[in-house]
Structure 1
Amino acid sequence: MPNRVRVPRWLLWVAFIGAVAVQLYGLYAPDAPGPDAGIPHFDKVGHFSIFAAVAVTGTWLCFSSWWLGLALVIHAGASEVLQTAFLPHRAGDPADFVTDLIGIAVGLWVGHLTRRMVAPRTSDC
């Protein structure tokens, strides 16, 4: 078993809150943030990343994977509906939703693989 990094719990919270803030900005900014890089469907990288980041950091904080995953799946679906209904320059996309789900699954998996190395030693999730 690799040695733990022993990241302070407050720093894990900063990472989690930062990931959530980036996710909310990415999903609800009036215009799609970031360049499209001229690559079709490049926004899928952003969708995957922002959901995976929240899942990983939430797992490091020992959130229940079941509840965290459920909350993220609900948020992924709701965000696509909200973009269509309330953001005139944005549109919901079923492919974005599927990409979000893949990001959630990979994020939870990576979080579980790395949690014991990152979580504070007093934390036995």
Structure 2
Amino acid sequence: MRVQPFVLALLLSLGVLFAPASGVPAAPPGTDKLVHLALFALLAVTGRAAGIRTWPLLGGLAAYAAASEVLQAVLPIGRSGDVLDGLVDVLGAVLGLGLYAALSRRRATA
């Protein structure tokens, strides 16, 4: 059961990252970076909650970030890859891992 939130977050990320450009709503500049940050933080938190160890999870999310940007650039979906988006993805994963660790410590002391 604890794997389900991670699977749902992964499916959400596929929809967000690979939606055709025509399906992406207009938003203020910089909003896409916030979406990337939050999405990868969610993947990190749910991945840890699913029992995936920190370093394999971070490595997998970094690889997913890089692959998603390359695929956005080469797939015929009208999207473009962006190195900064990939970096923000990794930052989101690191922040999510930090949040999970902080919440775990807090629960352990409560």
TM-score range, shorter chain: 0.7 to 0.9
User: What letter corresponds to residue 31 of structure 1 in structure 2?
Assistant: A
Percent of pairs with identical residues: 35
Are residues 32 and 49 of structure 1, via their aligned partners in 2, closer, same or farther at CA, if it must alter by over 3 Å? farther
Structure ranking higher in helix proportion: 2
Say which of 59, 63, 66 aligns to 2:52.
Answer: 63
Q: Deviations over 1:5-25 (max 9, x none)?
A: xxxxx1x32211111111111
Alignment length, in residue pairs? 107
Q: CA deviation at 1:33?
A: 5.1
2:31 corresponds to: 42
2:93 corresponds to: 104
For the 8 Å contact 2:36–2:89, the answer to whether it is kept is yes
Structure 2: unaligned runs, 5 residues or longer:
none
List, as ranges, runs of 4+ consecutive aligned residues in structure 1 with deviation greater than 3 Å. Answer: none
Structure 1: unaligned runs, 5 residues or longer:
1-9, 118-125
User: What letter corresponds to residue 71 of structure 1 in structure 2?
Assistant: G
Separation in 1 of the partners of 2:42 and 2:50? 12
Q: Deviations over 1:65-120 (max 9, x none)?
A: 00000000011011111110113410001111111011010011111222364xxx
Separation in 2 of the partners of 1:55 and 1:63? 9
Q: CA RMSD in A?
A: 1.9
For the 8 Å contact 1:76–1:101, the answer to whether it is kept is yes
TM-score by length of 2: 0.86
Q: Secondary structure at the match of 1:50?
A: helix
1:21 corresponds to: 11
